[in-house]
């Protein structure tokens, strides 16, 4: 029998049943050994026949299962005429289990359900936000005669909305504060942030975002909605029975979270292609191509339902773009205008880097010096102060009259994308808003106000995104540049038979894509503007400006999301491209050598002390402390269970023949008290007194000492149990944790950490455990905080990474204020 035929047969068997690969493994193992004679050939033939029989049995079993499913469904349908609820339930359950899940696949259904649900949530939130903003403008328009009351309502209404949003986040879940994209980028790297994807956070995020955006502040929806989509993905996997297989598999769960990020962006702008690309750029260092279809399928489903909701509610006649334009296709731009577009990209990159720097300085100022101006005493002081200042400046009867203070962000963006020049437009709405005193002064005031206020507002302790405000800001910047070009060249750069006039709306599109791309360090903003406007006539200028803006911004500052990650001190992996001093450095120069480990020679006393004095999530295991042959790693939970079994199965026999369990607890002073044996074996790690310190049961003799056994004998017996070796036979071990050798370059380690989302790696030398390197060391050496001339000896324990990469939100420094 040929090896090729056996291999193909083995592959087909593996698809049918989980038990068959064991036969394949046995077959391959036996085939790998050197055998001779006819007996060996007979054995091989018998093995292949056994595999064939197993394959046939599995195939028949598969067919029988499908046949039984059809018969069950047919029986339920025959009994369905009775009309009983139980019969209907059985019928639906059979269809769901045997036809829907097994035939279509749970991945497709999960993505479909996630896309539809997020589209409905997005449409409902947009409706609530629109009504809140319309109410604000309605109060202003109705009170035309009483200016003081008009002013109070203009300031007081947004103030109440912001107070309510802050209260919701503080009462229900503080994890709803901020954008959500930086945290999701951290989670997709494999970091655990407790209670960040729960239903409490979902409620806080949805309600808080509606009121914070309904207040009229310059904040966006995209980042928070990405967080909402990821929460929905997590809750569907947890609570829907048919999808629990996805949630239980860590890899598939992360892939669904990546698809949720895509649908979160697409349901905001109805831009499925740009949404997928943008989510990949801002949340992933490396992206698995196999997950591409999930992101696109979910984004398309979400965008389709989101736009169809407008059709079904009679707002639109058909599916259209959110901000349609009508630029000239015959002559969209003069080739010489590409120079102007390039200059726009350069200035947008400098402006984007300035925005990121200004936002970071504001956060540090409030965090470090806020107590001096009474901003730390109450969570409501800072957001109320910012809201009042923003609303006073934007009051339409005062400064707001000169910069479109009465317009919402969506209305402003529609004006910016207008086809005609504002100096010659016939649109009365545009003239009434931007013509006084003139369009250049109004646009300049709007840009300055939007720039400064957005930097402050996205630092508030409310759900707030940053993308849409900077998108509008970039559109205003492009509009100003385009109107200037129109005034300088009223008949176009080159006069000719065609209409060669400059289109300021095209400059607004280029400016929006370039500035938002510079702040977020993404190229996909160019695709988003094409899907928003429905035209690609300016594809060349947009791409040129976005690339130049990204190059300038990346040279000066990190992206806004990476900046927030650094502010919150979340684990991240910085880029290494500009650090040439690492070219000849190896992992041995930064690894930690003081390792806390287990060995097969470790006693119960040593294991108990190790668990009691550390809070690491896993421990390396070696054969003994002399050879240090690396065998694998053991999770802390598994090690604690092995210690519990040692407590359970070691019993002391009294003279009367009875056995006494070492885990028995006595009552002392109205609370559990651990006896001598339990203290010795480490159970005291889970029994604390009210003062937060461990109980010291050795100060008092336990009352459960068996009759006929003296206290001295009892203590000697306990001490003898301490010196016994720990039994690891029933302790599950990871036999292949990620390992590197000492001569691995830092460049290669950086790539592997980013590609595999590693938090740590063990360092071995000819099979011996010599150290460990964590994400912290990689990050510090890239940032220049580790002296590469001296190896990392004493200091923080090498296994500290196992504790530091499971984060508690209350220890995370939020962008707003701590």
pLDDT of the residue at 664:
44
CA distance 364 to 377: 17
User: Any idea which of 87-96, 170-179, 182-191 has the lowest mean pLDDT?
Assistant: 87-96
User: Any idea which of 152-166, 407-421, 438-452, 695-709 has the lowest mean pLDDT?
Assistant: 695-709
Q: Residue 387: pLDDT above 70?
A: yes
Q: pLDDT tens digits, residue range 707-736?
A: 556 666 666 777 777 778 888 877 888 888
pLDDT of the residue at 541:
93
Angle at the Cα of 515 (from 476 to 503), degrees rounded to 5? Answer: 45
Q: What percent of the chain has pLDDT over 90?
A: 27
CB 587 within 8 A of CB 744: yes
- Averaged pLDDT, 508-519: 94
Residues contacting 289, CB < 8 A, separation 6+: none
Number of CB atoms found within 10 A of residue 103's CB: 8
Classify residue 290 by its DSSP letter: G
Number of CB atoms found within 10 A of residue 660's CB: 17
CA distance 740 to 278: 33
CA distance 718 to 646: 12
Residue 320's H or E segment, with its range, is none
* Nearest of 349, 334, 267, 278 to residue 303 by alpha carbon: 267
Classify residue 538 by its DSSP letter: T
Looking at per-residue pLDDT, the higher value among 504 and 810 belongs to 504
pLDDT of the residue at 109:
84
CB 544 within 8 A of CB 523: no
Structure tokens at 755: 């590609």
pLDDT of the residue at 818:
32
Instruction: List, in sequence order, every residue forming a beta bridge with 463; answer none if it has no partner.
Output: 178
CB 263 within 8 A of CB 256: no
Structure tokens at 252: 């598939």
User: Any idea which of 82-86, 229-233, 513-517, 767-771 has the lowest mean pLDDT?
Assistant: 82-86
pLDDT of the residue at 667:
29
- Averaged pLDDT, 391-395: 92
Q: Residue 194: pLDDT above 70?
A: yes
Looking at per-residue pLDDT, the higher value among 39 and 180 belongs to 180
Give the pLDDT band (50/70/90) at residue 251: confident
User: Any idea which of 12-16, 413-417, 532-536, 615-619 has the lowest mean pLDDT?
Assistant: 12-16
Q: Residue 685: pLDDT above 80?
A: no
- Averaged pLDDT, 417-445: 85
CA torsion sign for 482, 483, 487, 488 is negative
Give the pLDDT band (50/70/90) at residue 419: confident
pTM, two decimals, is 0.76
User: Any idea which of 187-196, 493-502, 723-732 has the lowest mean pLDDT?
Assistant: 493-502
Q: What is the CA radius of gyration of the chain?
A: 33
Q: pLDDT tens digits, residue range 287-343?
A: 778 788 888 899 999 999 998 888 888 777 778 888 888 887 777 888 888 999 999
CB 589 within 8 A of CB 607: no
Structure tokens at 236: 């569907």
User: Any idea which of 95-99, 160-164, 736-740 has the lowest mean pLDDT?
Assistant: 95-99
End-to-end Cα, the chain, rounded Å: 70
pLDDT of the residue at 786:
63
Instruction: List, in sequence order, every residue forming a beta bridge with 633; answer none if it has no partner.
Output: 620, 734
pLDDT of the residue at 469:
93
* Nearest of 561, 556, 477 to residue 512 by alpha carbon: 477
User: Any idea which of 176-190, 274-288, 634-648, 697-711 has the lowest mean pLDDT?
Assistant: 697-711
Q: pLDDT tens digits, residue range 596-607?
A: 888 888 888 888
Q: By three-state DSSP, how is residue 614 classified? A: coil
Looking at per-residue pLDDT, the higher value among 527 and 88 belongs to 527
Q: Residue 638: pLDDT above 90?
A: no
Structure tokens at 804: 């530091």
* Nearest of 574, 754, 570 to residue 180 by alpha carbon: 570
Average pLDDT, the chain: 76
CB 413 within 8 A of CB 533: no
DSSP string covering 662-708: TT-EEEETTEEEE-HHHHHTTGGGG-B-TTSSB--GGGS--TTPPTT
Residue carrying structure tokens 């840009």: 447
Which of the listed ranges 355-364, 563-572, 672-681, 762-771 does the model predict with the highest average pLDDT? 355-364
pLDDT of the residue at 124:
93
pLDDT of the residue at 601:
84
Which of the listed ranges 185-199, 363-377, 720-734 does the model predict with the highest average pLDDT? 185-199
Give the pLDDT band (50/70/90) at residue 643: confident
DSSP string covering 471-525: HHHHHHHHHHHHHHHHHH-TT-SS--SS-----HHHHHHHHHHHHHHHHHT-STH
Give the pLDDT band (50/70/90) at residue 806: very low
Residue 788's H or E segment, with its range, is none
What are the phi and psi torsion angles at 679 (to 5°)?
-65, -40
How many alpha carbons lie under 13 Å from residue 222 in its C-beta half-sphere? Answer: 25
Give the pLDDT band (50/70/90) at residue 115: very high
pLDDT of the residue at 18:
35
Long-range contact set of residues 243-250: C-beta below 8 Å, sequence gap at least 24: 243/106, 243/109, 243/110, 245/106, 246/106, 246/107, 246/110
pLDDT of the residue at 676:
40
Residue 20's H or E segment, with its range, is helix 20-32
CA distance 260 to 116: 12
Looking at per-residue pLDDT, the higher value among 236 and 727 belongs to 236
Residues contacting 43, CB < 8 A, separation 6+: 30, 35
CA distance 730 to 655: 31
Looking at per-residue pLDDT, the higher value among 275 and 315 belongs to 275
CB 201 within 8 A of CB 231: yes
pLDDT of the residue at 157:
93
pLDDT of the residue at 706:
55
User: How would you classify the pairing of strands 665-668 and 671-674?
Assistant: antiparallel
pLDDT of the residue at 751:
83
Structure tokens at 130: 């629109």
Q: pLDDT tens digits, residue range 521-548?
A: 999 999 999 999 888 888 999 999 999 9
CB 475 within 8 A of CB 446: no
What are the phi and psi torsion angles at 402 (to 5°)?
-95, 0
Instruction: List, in sequence order, every residue forming a beta bridge with 622; answer none if it has no partner.
Output: 599, 630
Q: Residue 579: pLDDT above 70?
A: no
């Amino acid at each position: 029998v040929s090896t090729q035929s056996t291999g193909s047969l083995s592959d087909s068997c593996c698809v049918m049943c989980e038990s068959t690969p064991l036969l394949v493994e046995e077959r391959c193992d036996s085939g790998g050994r050197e055998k001779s004679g006819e007996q060996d050939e007979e054995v091989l033939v018998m093995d292949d026949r056994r595999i064939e029989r197993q394959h046939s049995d599995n195939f028949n079993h598969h067919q029988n299962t499908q046949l039984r499913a059809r018969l069950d469904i047919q029986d339920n349908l025959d009994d369905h005429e009775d009309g009983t609820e139980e019969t209907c339930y059985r019928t639906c359950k059979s269809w769901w289990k045997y036809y829907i899940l097994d035939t279509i696949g749970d991945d497709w259904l999960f993505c479909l359900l996630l896309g539809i649900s997020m589209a409905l949530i997005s449409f409902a939130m947009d409706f609530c936000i629109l009504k809140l903003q319309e109410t604000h403008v309605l109060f202003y328009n109705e009170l035309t005669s009483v200016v003081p009351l008009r002013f109070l309502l203009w300031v007081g209404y947004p103030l109440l909305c912001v107070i309510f949003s802050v209260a919701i986040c503080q009462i229900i879940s503080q994890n709803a504060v901020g954008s959500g994209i930086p945290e999701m980028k951290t989670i997709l790297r494999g970091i655990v942030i407790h209670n960040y994807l729960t239903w409490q956070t979902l409620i806080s995020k949805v309600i808080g975002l509606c009121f914070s955006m309904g207040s009229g502040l310059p904040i966006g929806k995209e980042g928070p909605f990405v967080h909402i989509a990821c929460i929905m993905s997590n809750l569907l996997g947890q609570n829907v029975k048919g999808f629990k297989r996805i949630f239980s598999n860590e890899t598939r769960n992360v892939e669904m979270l990546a698809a949720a990020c895509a649908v979160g962006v697409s349901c905001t702008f109805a831009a499925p292609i740009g949404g997928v690309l943008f989510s990949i750029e801002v949340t992933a260092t490396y992206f698995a191509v196999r997950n591409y279809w999930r992101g696109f399928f979910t984004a398309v489903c979400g965008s389709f339902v989101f736009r169809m909701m407008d059709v079904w509610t009679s707002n639109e006649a058909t599916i259209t773009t959110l901000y349609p334009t009508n630029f000239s296709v015959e002559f969209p731009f003069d080739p010489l205008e590409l120079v102007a577009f390039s200059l726009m990209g350069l200035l947008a990159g400098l402006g984007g880097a300035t925005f990121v720097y200004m936002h970071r300085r504001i956060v540090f100022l409030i965090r470090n010096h806020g107590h001096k101006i009474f901003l730390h005493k109450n969570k409501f002081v800072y957001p109320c102060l910012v809201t009042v200042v923003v609303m006073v400046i934007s009051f339409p009867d005062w400064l707001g009259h000169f910069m479109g203070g009465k317009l919402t962000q969506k209305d402003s963006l529609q004006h910016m994308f207008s086809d005609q020049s504002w100096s010659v437009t016939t649109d009365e709405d545009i003239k009434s808003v931007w013509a006084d005193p003139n369009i250049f002064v109004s646009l300049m005031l709007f840009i300055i106000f939007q720039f400064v206020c957005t930097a402050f507002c996205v630092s508030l302790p409310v759900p707030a995104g940053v993308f849409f405000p900077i998108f509008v800001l970039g559109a205003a910047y492009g509009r100003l540049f385009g109107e200037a070009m129109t005034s300088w060249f009223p008949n176009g750069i080159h006069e000719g038979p065609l209409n060669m006039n400059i289109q300021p709306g095209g400059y607004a599109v280029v400016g929006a894509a370039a500035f938002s791309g510079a702040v977020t360090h993404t190229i996909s903003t160019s695709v988003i503007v094409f899907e928003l406007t429905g035209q690609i006539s300016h594809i060349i200028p947009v791409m040129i400006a976005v690339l130049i803006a990204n190059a300038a911004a990346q040279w000066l500052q990190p992206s806004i999301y990476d900046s927030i990650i650094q502010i919150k001190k979340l684990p991240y992996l910085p880029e290494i491209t500009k650090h040439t001093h690492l070219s000849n450095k190896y992992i041995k120069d930064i690894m930690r050598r003081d390792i806390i480990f287990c060995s097969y020679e470790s006693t119960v006393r040593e294991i108990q002390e190790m668990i009691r004095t550390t809070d690491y999530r896993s421990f390396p295991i070696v054969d003994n402390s002399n050879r240090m042959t690396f065998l694998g790693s053991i999770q802390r939970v598994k090690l604690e269970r092995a210690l519990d079994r040692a407590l359970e199965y070691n019993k002391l026999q009294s003279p009367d023949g009875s056995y006494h369990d070492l885990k028995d607890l006595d009552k002392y002073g109205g609370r559990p008290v651990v006896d001598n044996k339990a203290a010795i074996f480490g159970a005291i790690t889970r029994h604390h007194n009210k003062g937060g310190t461990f109980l010291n049961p050795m100060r008092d003799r336990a009352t459960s000492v068996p009759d006929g056994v003296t206290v001295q004998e009892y203590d000697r017996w306990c001490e003898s149990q301490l010196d016994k070796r720990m039994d690891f036979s029933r302790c599950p071990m990871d036999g292949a944790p990620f390992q590197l050798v000492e001569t691995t370059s830092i460049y290669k380690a950086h790539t592997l950490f980013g590609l595999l989302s590693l938090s740590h790696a063990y360092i071995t030398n000819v099979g011996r455990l010599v150290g460990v390197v964590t994400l912290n060391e990689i990050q510090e050496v890239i940032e220049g905080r580790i002296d590469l001339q001296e190896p990392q000896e004493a200091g923080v324990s090498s296994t500290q990474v196992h504790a530091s990469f499971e984060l508690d939100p209350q220890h995370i420094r939020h962008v707003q204020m701590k």
